[in-house]
Structure formats: structure tokens, C-alpha cells
Amino acid sequence: MSEAAEAEVLDIPQVYTHHVFCCFTQRPPMHPRGSCGANGAQPLWERLGKKLEASGRRDIAMTSSGCLSFCQAGPIMVVYPQGIWYTPKTPEDIDEIVTSHLLGGKPVERLIIVPRI
Ligand code: FES
């Protein structure tokens, strides 16, 4: 891609300040790949959705996704446009991500994972 084309792509306005993708994949408990669902994702994503709705912030979106490929580390969520990957384990982790990162703009370092591809 040429520099001009790349600059044009980067200038596309963002619809949301933050767009969160949460893995809703559920595999059987003993599946060799594991899954976010088997690791307890569902109640965490429900909490995240309720927190975002309660915030009234229409510029923050949450979308359910399929497998994001890092199943064993799940539950997995990723926040764009920054591309920050989180692996929250508790309701308090969700609260901190919402308050600190999504509403406050400060990522929660202790919950970030860096996927290896
Ligand atoms: S099942 Fe969630 S990342 Fe694969």
C-alpha cells in the first residue's frame, strides 16, 4: 500500500471512541481447545453490557464475537481502535475496565494480554 493510500485509510473517522468485542464461544467443558464460555465469560459479558448501558455512553459499543483464537487464556475481549486485549476473570475486573479504560481512557495494565500469533 502506498503512503498516500495508507494515510487515507488512517483518516477514516471512527464511529465509536471504543468498540469492544467479547468472545461468546462456548465449547464443551473438556474440549481440548477450551473456550471463553467454559471459562466463565457469559456473566462477565452480561455485566459489561449492563455497565455500558448504565453509562449512557453511545460512543462506546459492545459486540459479541466468535472465537478470537486465544481460547485457553479466556475470557477474551479486545478494545478497538487501540487493539488492547483483556482477559478479565471477575466482576471487579469488568468494573475496572469500564471505569478506568472505557470511561476514563486509562487502560488496565494488569489485565492486558498480548496475544502471540
Ligand atoms: S473461545 Fe474465546 S478466544 Fe477462542
Q: Where are the domains of the chain?
A: 16-113
d(CA 32, CA 13): 41
pLDDT > 70 in the chain, percent: 91
Helix (H) or strand (E) holding 64: strand 60-65
User: Of the residues 22, 31, 35, 72, which should be mutated to test ligand 1's pocket, given the most ligand atoms within 8 Å of the CB?
Assistant: 35
Q: Each residue of 42-57: pLDDT tens digit?
A: 999 999 999 999 999 9
Span from the CA of 89 to the centroid of ligand 1 (angstroms): 14
Indicate the fold that domain 16-113 takes in CATH.
Answer: Glutaredoxin (3.40.30)
**Which positions ≥6 away from 81 have C-beta within 8 Å?**
14, 18, 19
User: Of the residues 39, 71, 116, which should be mutated to test ligand 1's pocket, given the most ligand atoms within 8 Å of the CB?
Assistant: 71
List pocket residues of ligand 1, CB cut-off 6 Å: 23, 25, 35-36, 67-71, 74, 76
d(CA 29, CA 71): 12
Q: Each residue of 73-117: pLDDT tens digit?
A: 999 999 999 999 999 999 999 999 999 999 999 999 999 998 777
Helix (H) or strand (E) holding 79: strand 77-80
**Which positions ≥6 away from 87 have C-beta within 8 Å?**
73, 74, 75, 76, 77, 111, 113
**pTM, rounded to two decimals:** 0.88
Question: What is the atom index within ligand 1 of the atom nearest the CA of 74?
Answer: 2
